[in-house]
Amino acid sequence: MNYNLIKIENQDDPLNQASDNFISTKNMPDYSSSHWQKIIDSTYAYNTARFCVIGEDNQIHGTSLIYYCPKTGKAFTPRFGLCADNQDVFNILAKAIKDFSTEHQFKDVLITSGHDPFQSEKPYWHKKNIFIPLEYETQEKLWDAVPKKTKNMIRKAEKNGITIRISHNALESFYPLYQSHMLSKQLKIKPRMYFEKLQNEMKEKLVYVEARHNGEIAGYMIFLNNAHNASYLYNVCEHSAARDGANNLMMWNAFCYFYEQNKKFIELGESSENSPVYNFKKRLTKEPRIEDIFYVQLLQSQQRSLSEKIIGKLHAFQMKVLPYMPEAMQTHILLKEDSIGRVI
């Protein structure tokens, strides 16, 4: 089949919605959708570009989203960033991103292809992504698929008075807990504006699972309700509540919620194999589906400039002394846009 590559020039182009529909038919999380494009465009110092590939049958056979920072010369696709029917379409999209990046003189370009192991001559590696199947005949069988130790943690949480509430807008109570959680772990903090845009763009598709411990808010998990599946986005939980099983109880309630919504699976996001987060996710069910997310380094700078080396060393020193700085200064540094890399 012959294919045509099209760069989608504006948000109102009908090809934007058609590309979103194509992602849905592939039963993939929609991180490359026009919704995420709007969120990235309006929150960060990134520009975005979206491509689609149309066959001679006048149908879309592939799509990709790229976000890039002209200042740093870095570009990324989201997770599951290249959604393609076959190797030919993958090659067309990869070449389009490479040509676009070369034209704009980008130095580092990282793309992902989801769980389809497309062939590439460029350096590539992979991380693990865990999926929780939800297609069981009854909720009782869904419960049967939960391992014994995880069931015990769920029961422990209920016994310790942890209660769950599900809503579609809890930003006001979520963000302070999120900011405190990320600060305590010295991790990059996403700006409040990002979550506001996420809330406004996704609306009822955004699902907050809230845990209360002795009546006080102790944790949140945020999920995205896609067409045929759900994606796990963020988790924050106070240490004492986590110790009492709050995370397990929140996740179990999410299982039940999306099971009732007739979703096929929950995508739990990428993790390094055998890391604590990976092992937590893997133990949530007896039947996890574990697949690879493939990364391809399309372009990579061969040598950093002197200024880049100096900035890198200053950043490393800054992170080393960060725990000893006043909290307000820590928050400012962790929120700073210049150090932001991949967004999703």
pLDDT tens column, 121-164: 666 777 888 999 999 999 999 999 999 999 999 999 999 999 99
pLDDT 10s digits, 65-120: 999 988 888 899 998 888 999 999 999 999 999 999 999 999 889 888 765 656 66
3-state secondary structure at position 163? strand
Contact predicate 54/3, CB 8 Å: yes
- Tokens matching residue 317: 């020193």
Q: Domain 3-127+295-302: state its class.
A: alpha beta
Q: Domain limits of the chain?
A: 3-127+295-302, 135-263
Report residue 205 as tokens. 């598709």
What one-character-per-residue DSSP string does 105-148 give? Answer: T-SEEEEE-TT-----SS-EEEEEEEEEE---SSHHHHHHTS-H
pLDDT per residue over 171-210, tens digit each?
Answer: 999 999 999 998 888 888 888 989 999 999 999 999 999 9
pLDDT for 161 equals: 96
Instruction: Read off the pLDDT band of 311 (50, 70, 90).
Output: low
Per-residue tokens: 32: 């490359």
The pLDDT assigned to 239 comes to 93
Indicate the average pLDDT of the chain.
88
Compute the average pLDDT of residues 250-270: 96
Q: The domain 135-263 belongs to what CATH superfamily?
A: Gcn5-related N-acetyltransferase (GNAT) (3.40.630.30)
- d(C-alpha 344, C-alpha 341), whole Å: 9
pLDDT, tens digit (0-9, with 9 covering 90-100), for 272-303? 888 888 999 999 999 999 988 777 777 777 66
Burial of 135 (C-beta count, 10 Å sphere; 0-12/13-18/19+): exposed
**Fold match between 3-127+295-302 and 135-263?**
yes
Q: Which DSSP helix (H) or strand (E) runs through 327?
A: helix 327-335
| C-beta atoms surrounding 288 within 10 Å | 17
Q: What backbone phi and psi angles, to 5 degrees, belong to 160?
A: -85, 15
Which helix (H) or strand (E) segment holds residue 104: the answer is none
